[in-house]
Each structure stands twice: as structure tokens, then as C-alpha cells.
Amino acid sequence: MIKKTDVIVIGAGLSGLTAARKLEELGYSVKVIEARDRVGGRNETHLLADGQVLDLGGQWIGPTQTKMYELCKELKLELFPTHNEGKVILYDHGKKSLMGSKNGALPKLNVFILLGLGLIIKKIEKRVDQIDLDAPWKHPKAKVWDSETLESWVRKNTKLKKVRAYFNIVSEVVFSTEASDISFLHFLFYVKSGSGMDNLLNIDEGAQKERVVGGTQQISIRLSELLKNEVILESPVTRIEQSENGVKVFSKEQFWQAKKVIVTLPPTLAGRITYAPPLPGMRDQLTQRIPAGSVIKIQIIYKTPFWRKKGLTGQAVSFTGPLKIVMDNSLPNDSRGVLVMFMEGNDGREASEWTLEKRTQKAIGCLVKYFGDEAKDYLDYIERNWCDEEFTRGGYGGHFTPGVWSGFGKYLRKPIQHIHWAGAETATVWNGYMEGAVRSGERVATEVSETLKDS
Amino acid sequence: MIKKTDVIVIGAGLSGLTAARKLEELGYSVKVIEARDRVGGRNETHLLADGQVLDLGGQWIGPTQTKMYELCKELKLELFPTHNEGKVILYDHGKKSLMGSKNGALPKLNVFILLGLGLIIKKIEKRVDQIDLDAPWKHPKAKVWDSETLESWVRKNTKLKKVRAYFNIVSEVVFSTEASDISFLHFLFYVKSGSGMDNLLNIDEGAQKERVVGGTQQISIRLSELLKNEVILESPVTRIEQSENGVKVFSKEQFWQAKKVIVTLPPTLAGRITYAPPLPGMRDQLTQRIPAGSVIKIQIIYKTPFWRKKGLTGQAVSFTGPLKIVMDNSLPNDSRGVLVMFMEGNDGREASEWTLEKRTQKAIGCLVKYFGDEAKDYLDYIERNWCDEEFTRGGYGGHFTPGVWSGFGKYLRKPIQHIHWAGAETATVWNGYMEGAVRSGERVATEVSETLKDS
């Protein structure tokens, strides 16, 4: 007989590695199984020819993400601030204006619009305050909020087109999907989970405040090196069988046995594993209902950060696509300039059908509009379409469509016999972010250890 | 070398069997592969001890479902009318009233409410008329309609609570899900696809007009008997590989080769197959976004159809759950009475967690309220929770959540190299119904035959 591991963890991203580590610390034996040929999940660091690195996935951390700060400190990873000196470009259907970079979440718009926007944000914040992160479906108005999309709620609450457009940008930037696609209740939950609108959207003192020297994948690499057992790579899990005695986890070629299994995949991918016996209907239907957003992350490298000498941050916010958001992503101790930009939601979907050449042209076209002709002379173009990634299938994370929190929220973290669920999408605090992934890993490790103690 | 089949069809429901048959008629060799130990998909006929049968899944056909009438005639299956003589019970929070059974889609409510309801239905019908069934996303207002849920649109258009409640019932009855869960654009598409509100909801001259003697699964059984090759049962497909030369289709134990493959599974299940090479991001993301409704179909058998002698049809419509809809489902040439009822949407979700005993009690409790104490003395209780079915995972079909038609509609039927898509969810006419399944099978057979001719 093979000696059974205590716990198998599926997925070697931040959530899975955190869970594995904590369980090992508690004295349990753990195997981590990963589909890809690398650890890190949605944190992937791209090596440039000269040894410098860029993050193709999640890259920022900021205030209230306490677990991430602790983790980076412990793993001896240095941080550096996101460049935020100078003016931000607001591009409004051909009209370019400049705004300060320390404004908070509000773009520079005319006073009438700003007032309208302020009112809406106040209304949202009032509702956000009332959300219970553990159970957003329990609010007395949850069903009503969950029957609206973010877009239909905003449209009902303001006639100002600019304000509506602003929330479409917010939705694309935060969820990589259209404001039409997400439940208004989910938006409220997410804003609360991310410490409020300002914190979610800001650079200074916000979620985009700092970056990791050497790239965020280093966090997972270093975490995996601390584990007793090597992570089993290139082994997409296809099947989980469970019985009273424990679980069997199958890849195409082999299988492993354990007492418990933790699935850290995003719900939409967790639903693709074959379970025997089949999972209860409600758990299955939950996984049918949390699609990933659509995002292509693009980074363009220039000889210098030419925008800085013009007094610009390198940030641009545009009401029109395909690039609605651009930021300075230059490297520390490097003379080159890097711009990072996102084609998101419907922009990302349309761009998915373009050739690489067309996407490059379109991106450069936008940058020229925002930053001038110097944007034409780039050294390198690097992109990652997360929708095409077989083991992610979208970004930044899964979002709840209308009716899902109220109809299925209670199944999100509910274990099924020996199967426990983790991943950024299951987090209450910083849901969808690296911080949420780590927190979900800690939560599930405690949960599993409690059940192992009892058995 | 194994001789390659021309076409593999995955799924032996109406769509797959229709496609297989038509392709055989055109001279191609076809293999149908089915996950279950039976054909019929969402048509499943339950044998009673005495040899009589009840349908656990789809069971009704009606006007404009021309393919279904042709098919039944050709297969020598007889039809019989749904019982619709007498009064219909309207149960409104403890208050019971009776209405005629030939009213059209409108319940008997006070004049003020009926007027409000009439206005809303008129508004809906005006919009329905403008929908292009082939491409609902092309309407100039498609994005706005697709950013609303059916519930938020109705709430915006009427203050009358009864009218809002009416549409919640409509949503549960037609989609097995809450009005909060579906896109308003999808609702418009679906109503048009189903020949209008009246036709969708009615018994006389509507989609619930007639039933098949011997049960609807007979259609699939007889279709499968007409095929040259026997359907390969109990073989859930886990993997599809394709190359220039064609496809390989894998179950757990074996594989088959062909030039083309037709996947007839509902999108949410089609997305669970592993594809090599991986499918393009947009096709994958589509399958993340069309969840199935939640439905438990219950049938309760009585010694006699006791409601008939009271002048009742056996139909009840209730504003409160868990049974919002009941109908007479008695058998032809049988003295017993059968009531069929549905726990749908949030009712179905809640009831999924109950024990069989509790569901039985709750169902009988409702029937007693609607039909009196005689409802207590039943002979048999038969149920099917379609959410728990591993190879269906919900019912009646998949619905489009907000933003999905506009963001992803064009990928619904778009072949990926040698893979073609069918199934009731891909139909333009009678989407989600048996009629739509058959039409999708015919459409895909033509599509595949065209590409085979070209190659």
C-alpha cells in the first residue's frame, strides 16, 4: 500500500502554496499538484533578454494588503513604488486633458459631472458599508441589488453620460469585464472586500501602490522552495474520486491518494474536473455562474520613459478603447521606459480576434494619441491574453453575475466531504487579489486541519 | 490503421441523433457517443410498475414546432392533448381564486393590474418583434437591453408588485431561474424564438399543447434505431484532440477517430471537455457564461384525477413557492390522476437541500392548499432533480446572463477547425426546446456536410 499523504493541494498559485505551507507547519504531509510547468498561477514573470523581468499577470500590492506585505518581508522580496509623479492624461473622444495624479478615484471632469459622480459614489459607499463580507446575500436588500447589473443601477441613478462611462471604465479596470456583466451586489461586495473605492482604484495609498522587485512570481517560487515536497508540475487534474476513506486525485497519467484535497482553481475551472461521486447540483451550478473577465495585458518597452520629462506619469485614462487604461511600468534601476496597458471587457474580446500585428498597431495608435509621436519608437512589445491560457481562462478573476450571490453564495466555500475550496475567488477580504488568494489559503488550511484533527 | 469515421457526434439527445441521421442520409459514416446508459438526453421516460410511463424531462409540444410534429408522425408516435378542461387555480398568498383555462397568458387579476400587465407585455412584444434571431446582438439597443436583467427592466417599467411577481413566475416557468438571473435581451430573444409570449406560455395553441404517447424518450429511441451504427453508450467524452487530419475523441477507456466532430452538449458541459489544442479564449469564455436553470420536476400519482370532478383543470399558478406551477399530467387510457409540478429557480435551489421526505411533504402541503385535503392521499411520488444529473447539470436549458449575447453571441455556433456545435442552446427557432434541438441537429448536419464536400 502507498502511504497516504494527508492533504493534496490542487494548484500552485499563492492560495495553494500558502495552504500547503501552513498545513506543513501544522505537521501534516502535503502534495501540491499543478497543471502548468511552473508555479505562480496568475503571477507569471517574463524574463527579458537582458535578465530584467516584467509581470505578465498580477503585479501590484497596496495598503490593507497586510498578508502580502508580511509575506514579501518574510521571503526577503523588496518592493518599489509604482511611478506616480506628474500629470495623468484623460482622453475623452479625441480631447486630451491633464489631471493631477493624487486626486483619489475621481478623474478631472467638469464640476457638474464631478458633483454627479460624487453623489453616486456616496450612494455606493453607503451601501458598501452595510455589506457583510462573509455573507453578502444576507442584506435585506441583497436580492434587489443582485437583480441589477452595475450598469443598470448606475443608469437608473444618473442621467450623466460621463458618469455612466466612468463606471464602465471602473468595471473594466477592476473586473476586466463590462459594467453590464456583473451584479451590482457583487460590485458592492468587491468594493468592501478591497477596502473601498479609493483604495481599489488608487495608486498612492491604493491597490496599485507598489511592485515586487524581481516580479510577483518570485513569491510563489520562494514559497514552493520552503515546502518539504517538490510541487508536482505539468499534471492537470482531470478527476477526483472520494469515499469514506479519503480521496484519489487523477491526472492523465497518474494518481495520488490523500485524506483531504484542496481545490484552489477559479470556480469556472474547478467545475471542469470530473468528480466521483458527482458533486451536488448546487455546487456544480455555482461553478457554472462565476465567469472570468476578459483581459489582454500589454507591455511596451521604450528606450527611455520619455513621458516623464514631459511632466507626465505615463498614466492615461480613456473613455474609448481599445486601451482605456495605461500606466508606467518601468523597471527599477533600469534606464528604459515601460508602459503597461490593458485591453479589457469587450475591447479585449474584440482584440482577441485580431492578429498580433493588428493589436500592436492599435496599441501604438492609442499611445501616440495619449503621449505623442515618440510612442511610435518602441523597443519591444509583450502581451499576454489570459483568456487563451488553458489553465486560467480569463482574468483578473471570476465575477458574480446577477442572482448568483443570492442564489448560490452559501456554496462558495462549503466543503463537499473531503474536498475543500480555496483560491482568490473564495476570499472575503481582497477577493480576486493576491492578498485574497493568500488569505483563502490560510483559511482553508485551518479548515482542513480542524477536520483532520476531528477524524 | 483504423478506418476513420466521417463524423463523430457527441450526445445522443434529439440534436445529436437528428444530426447523425441526416448525415447518414447524405452518405456519411457517423458514430454517436453518449455519456449515459441511454439515449434521449433531457428526454427521459420513467417506467411505472404497471408499464405506464411518465416523462421526467421535456414532454410538451405545440404549434409552430413543425419539426417535432413531422418527426412524431414519421416515427409513428401518437400525440394526445394536455388536459385543459375546467378552471385554473390562482393562489395569491393564501387567497385562492379561479380563472378560465383559455385566457391566454394573462392570469385573472384585478383590472388595474391586468391593464399594467397588458402594457408591459405590449412593450415587450414591440421589442421582441425587432429581434434578429440569428444575431440578437445586432439590434441598435442590444447593449442596453443586455445590460438589464429581466427583473430590473420590469421593475423600472412598472410599480405594480403583482406584475413584477408575474414575471418572476414567467421566468421560473420558462427558464427555471429567477428573473434576476437572465439578460433582458435574452428574454426578448427567447420569446421571439418561441413564437411569442402567448405561444410560450399557453396550453391550448401553445407550447404545452400536446404530449407523446409512450413518452418523449421514444423519439430518441426510435431515431437511434434508424441509425446504421449503434449508439456508443456509457462513454463520457473527456478529451477532443484535433489536427489538420481530423479529430480524436477520448472517453476514459477508449478513443475514436473522425474527420469532424459535432458537440451537442449544453455549453456549460461542452466547456468541461479538454480540447487539444486548447480552444480560443472567446469560445471558452462563452461556455463560462451560459448556466443551466435549476429545476426539480415532481409528479404525484392519485387514484383518480379528483380535481376534474370539482371542475378544475388541475392547473395551479401560485405567487409563492415552493410550487408555483402545477398541471394535470394524467396518462391516456388510465384511470389514475397525475399532477406534475416544478420547484424552480430559488425554490428549486432551496429544495435541493431538503430530504426527499421534506420535499414530498412540502409538495403535498402546497397541493392541499390548492386542491384540498384529497391531495393528501397519493399513490406515488416521483421526482427528478436535473441539477444533480451529472450529464445535464440543470434544466430546462442554458440561459444567457447579462452582457453575454453582446459580448459573446457570435461564438455560439462558430466552428473551431473540425469541431462543430449543436444542441438546443444553439437554436435560433425554439431555442431551449425539443424543437430547437432538432433544428440545431439539422443545421449542424448541413454545416458539416458542406465542409466535408469542400475537403
Mean pLDDT of A177-201: 95
Nearest to A318 by CA among A204, A203, A165: A165
Q: Using CA atoms, how far apart are residues B13 and B20, in angstroms rounded to an integer?
A: 11
Contact at 8 Å (CB) between A329 and A349? no
Task: Indicate which CATH number applies to the domain containing B375.
Answer: 3.90.660.10
The pairing of strands A87-92 and A312-318 is parallel
Residue in A141, A147, A161, A265 to test binding to B, most B beta-carbons within 10 Å: A147
**pLDDT at A103 (0 to 100):** 55
The reply to whether B90 falls in a domain is: no
The reply to whether B97 falls in a domain is: no
Across the interface, do B285 and A181 touch by the CB < 8 Å criterion? Answer: no
Nearest to B338 by CA among B380, B370, B373: B380
Point out the domain boundary residue: B157, B176, B201. B201
Shortest CB distance from A146 goes to which of B180, B236, B401?
A: B180
Residue B353 marked ligand-binding: no
Nearest to A223 by CA among A26, A58, A46, A22: A22
Shortest CB distance from B294 goes to which of A155, A285, A388?
A: A285
Nearest to A4 by CA among A335, A246, A208: A246
For residue A201, pLDDT beyond 80: yes
Same domain, B184 and B109: yes
Point out the domain boundary residue: A201, A236, A253. A201
Same domain, B134 and B254: no
The reply to whether A73 falls in a domain is: no
**pLDDT at B205 (0 to 100):** 84
Range of the domain at B348: 56-64+80-84+207-211+293-385
B325, three cell numbers: 406551477
Same domain, A257 and A224: yes
**pLDDT at B396 (0 to 100):** 93
The reply to whether B74 falls in a domain is: no
Residue B342 marked ligand-binding: yes
Contact at 8 Å (CB) between B326 and B82? no
Residue in A401, A404, A414, A425 to test binding to B, most B beta-carbons within 10 Å: A401
Instruction: Encode pLDDT of B95-136 as tens digits.
Output: 999 988 775 555 666 777 888 889 999 999 999 999 999 999
**pLDDT at B1 (0 to 100):** 47
Burial classification of residue B159, based on how many CB atoms lie within 10 Å of its CB (0-12 exposed, 13-18 middle, 19 or more buried):
exposed
**Of A84-93, B14-23, B212-221, the least confident:** A84-93
Mean pLDDT of A32-58: 97
**pLDDT at A115 (0 to 100):** 83
- Element holding B79 (H helix, E strand): strand B79-81
Residue type, B298: I
Shortest CB distance from A390 goes to which of B151, B278, B401?
A: B278
**pLDDT at B198 (0 to 100):** 87
Q: Long-range contacts for A325-333 (Cβ within 8 Å, ≥24 apart)? A: A325/A169, A325/A172, A325/A173, A326/A366, A326/A367, A326/A370, A327/A82, A327/A203, A327/A208, A328/A82, A328/A83, A328/A84, A329/A54, A329/A59, A329/A299, A330/A83, A330/A305, A331/A52, A331/A53, A331/A54, A332/A80, A332/A213
Task: Indicate which CATH number applies to the domain containing B121.
Answer: 1.10.405.10
Q: Give the A:B interface size as CB pairs under 8 Å.
A: 153
Instruction: Encode pLDDT of B226-259 as tens digits.
Output: 999 999 999 999 999 999 999 999 999 999 999 9
- For A399, which DSSP code? -
Contact at 8 Å (CB) between B340 and B325? no
Residue A220 marked ligand-binding: no
Instruction: Encode pLDDT of B325-376 as tens digits.
Output: 999 999 998 999 999 999 999 999 999 999 999 999 999 999 999 999 999 9
Residue A237 marked ligand-binding: yes
Shortest CB distance from A181 goes to which of B177, B352, B403?
A: B403
Q: Using CA atoms, how far apart are residues B284 and B299, in angstroms rounded to an integer?
A: 37
| pTM of the model as a whole | 0.96
Same domain, B167 and B117: yes
DSSP, collapsed to helix, strand or coil, labels residue A104 as coil
Same domain, B419 and B308: no
The DSSP line for B87-133 is EEEEEETTEEEEEES-STT-----HHHHHHHHHHHHHHHHHHHT--T
**pLDDT at B239 (0 to 100):** 97
Contact at 8 Å (CB) between A65 and A207? yes
Point out the domain boundary residue: B134, B168, B201. B201
What dihedral angle (degrees, nearest 10) is formed by the CA atoms of B191, B196, B201, B203? -140
Residue A292 marked ligand-binding: no
Alpha carbon of A394 to those of A42, A270, A293, B150: distances in Å? 10, 14, 5, 27
Burial classification of residue A290, based on how many CB atoms lie within 10 Å of its CB (0-12 exposed, 13-18 middle, 19 or more buried):
buried
Residue in B141, B147, B297 to test binding to A, most A beta-carbons within 10 Å: B147
- The mean of the pLDDT values for chain B is 95
Shortest CB distance from A180 goes to which of B180, B394, B402?
A: B402
Which residues from chain A sit within 8 angstroms of residue B391, using beta carbons? none
Residue A253 marked ligand-binding: no
Q: Using CA atoms, how far apart are residues B13 and B300, in angstroms rounded to an integer?
A: 26
Same domain, B408 and B425: yes
Same domain, B401 and B367: no
**pLDDT at B104 (0 to 100):** 56
Q: Using CA atoms, how far apart are residues B38 and B43, in angstroms rounded to an integer?
A: 10
The reply to whether B283 falls in a domain is: yes
Alpha carbon of A358 to those of A349, A363, A422, B106: distances in Å? 14, 8, 38, 53
**pLDDT at A109 (0 to 100):** 67
Instruction: Encode pLDDT of A87-135 as tens digits.
Output: 999 999 999 999 887 755 556 667 778 888 889 999 999 999 999 999 9
Residue B201: partners with Cβ closer than 8 Å, 6 or more residues away: B105, B170, B173, B174, B207
The DSSP line for A46-72 is EEPTTS-EEESS--EE-TT-HHHHHHH
Same domain, A27 and A142: no
Which residues from chain B sit within 8 angstroms of residue A143, using beta carbons? 180
Across the interface, do B284 and A146 touch by the CB < 8 Å criterion? Answer: no
B212, three cell numbers: 407523446
**pLDDT at A116 (0 to 100):** 85
Task: Give the rounded percent of residues in chain B with a pLDDT score beyond 70.
Answer: 98
Helix, strand, coil: what percent of chain A each, to 5?
A: 35, 25, 40
Across the interface, do A403 and B352 touch by the CB < 8 Å criterion? Answer: no
Strands (E), A165-281: 210-212, 237-243, 246-251, 255-263, 274-276
Nearest to B265 by CA among B243, B295, B233, B287: B287
Q: A1: pLDDT confidence band, cut at 50, 70 and 90? A: very low
ipTM of the complex as predicted? 0.96
Q: Using CA atoms, how far apart are residues A59 and B399, in angstroms rounded to an integer?
A: 35
Residue in B265, B288, B411, B412 to test binding to A, most A beta-carbons within 10 Å: B288
Across the interface, do B271 and A274 touch by the CB < 8 Å criterion? Answer: no
Q: Long-range contacts for A226-230 (Cβ within 8 Å, ≥24 apart)? A: A226/A21, A227/A17, A227/A20, A227/A21, A227/A24, A227/A30, A227/A32, A228/A24, A228/A29, A228/A30, A229/A29, A229/A30, A229/A31, A229/A32
Same domain, A360 and A405: no
For residue A440, pLDDT beyond 80: yes
Same domain, B329 and B284: no
What residue in B sits closest to A353 (Cα-Cα)? B282
Burial classification of residue B377, based on how many CB atoms lie within 10 Å of its CB (0-12 exposed, 13-18 middle, 19 or more buried):
exposed
Shortest CB distance from A152 goes to which of B148, B178, B271?
A: B148
Across the interface, do A181 and B401 touch by the CB < 8 Å criterion? Answer: yes
The reply to whether B337 falls in a domain is: yes
**pLDDT at A104 (0 to 100):** 56
> First CA to last CA across chain A, in angstroms?
21
Residue B357: partners with Cβ closer than 8 Å, 6 or more residues away: none
Shortest CB distance from A349 goes to which of B146, B272, B407?
A: B407
The reply to whether B353 falls in a domain is: yes
Same domain, B112 and B145: yes
Across the interface, do B272 and A268 touch by the CB < 8 Å criterion? Answer: no
Residue B198: partners with Cβ closer than 8 Å, 6 or more residues away: B104, B105, B205, B206
**pLDDT at A3 (0 to 100):** 64
- For A359, which DSSP code? H
Burial classification of residue A156, based on how many CB atoms lie within 10 Å of its CB (0-12 exposed, 13-18 middle, 19 or more buried):
middle
In angstroms, what separates the C-alpha of A313 from chain B's closest C-alpha?
A: 32
Q: Using CA atoms, how far apart are residues A196 and A22, in angstroms rounded to an integer?
A: 29
Which residues from chain B sit within 8 angstroms of residue A401, using beta carbons? 181, 289, 401-402
Mean pLDDT of A42-58: 96
Across the interface, do B346 and A388 touch by the CB < 8 Å criterion? Answer: no
Same domain, A235 and A369: no
- For A333, which DSSP code? T
In sequence order, the β-bridge partners of residue A249 are: A240, A256
Which residues from chain B sit within 8 angstroms of residue A285, using beta carbons? 291-292, 294, 349, 387, 393-394
The reply to whether A144 falls in a domain is: yes
Number of compact structural domains in chain B: 3
Task: Indicate which CATH number applies to the domain containing A442.
Answer: 3.50.50.60
Nearest to B393 by CA among B352, B431, B359: B352
Mean pLDDT of A402-415: 98
For residue B2, pLDDT beyond 60: no
Which residues from chain B sit within 8 angstroms of residue A156, using beta carbons? 152, 156
